[in-house]
Amino acid sequence: EMIRVNYTEMDSAGGPTLRLEARGHAGYAPAGQDIVCAAASILMEAAAAVLREEQTPILDIRGKGLHMITAGGDSGALETARQGLSLLARHYADHVQIRDLRTRR
């Protein structure tokens, strides 16, 4: 088991669009005790909360083992979450993988 994270920045007609998608389960510990899953979840939850507080229009999709946030603009919330998930992937490489799929630089 593994959490697979994709981070995407795209140019669109209305300006930049950012997407952060976390899919899967870490498998670091039993359900309810998995600190890696908890860390990934709180990073995603915090990003969504900040975007809502900033009143940034977002698409927030959640399902079993999936949390995907898409937002327009250059809010730092998704970038901060991406950095946190990158650190998590560095420290728990067997349980978290992150791919940077930016098409804009």
- Per-residue model confidence (pLDDT) at position 46: 97
Please give the backbone phi and psi of residue 25, each rounded to the nearest 5 degrees, phi first: -130, 145
Which DSSP category does 87 fall into?
A: H
Q: Give Cα separations from 86 to 11, 25, 59, 62, 93 (angstroms).
A: 23, 16, 22, 21, 10
- Per-residue model confidence (pLDDT) at position 15: 80
- Per-residue model confidence (pLDDT) at position 43: 97
Q: At 25, which helix (H) or strand (E)? A: none
The Cα 65–Cα 27 span in angstroms is: 12
- Per-residue model confidence (pLDDT) at position 75: 76
Residues of the chain below pLDDT 70: 104-105
